[in-house]
Amino acid sequence: METVIHTDGSDERFAALCRQLDEFLDEKIGKEKQQTQYNAYNTLQAIHHAVLILVDGCAAACGAVKQYAPGAAEIKRVFVCPQYRRRGLARKVLCELEQTAAEIGCSTLLLETGKPLTAAQKLYESCGWHQIPNYGQYAGVNTSVCMQKEL
pLDDT digits (tens, 9 = 90+) for 1-36: 999 999 999 999 999 999 999 889 888 776 555 545
DSSP 8-state secondary structure symbol assigned to residue 34: I
Domains of the chain: 2-150 (3.40.630.30)
CA distance readout (Å), 142 to 33, 73, 112, 116, 123: 12, 22, 12, 11, 21
- Which helix (H) or strand (E) segment is 148 a member of? strand 144-150
pLDDT of residue 6: 98
> For the whole prediction, is pTM greater than 0.85?
yes
In total, the chain counts a number of residues equal to 151
pLDDT of residue 31: 58
For residues 123 and 97, give the distance between their C-alpha atoms in angstroms, rounded to a whole number.
15
Q: How confident is the model at residue 136 (pLDDT cuts 50, 70, 90)?
A: very high
Determine the residue type at 59. Answer: A
**Which residues, in sequence order, are CB contacts of 112 under 8 Å at separation 6+?**
74, 134, 135, 138, 144, 145, 146, 147
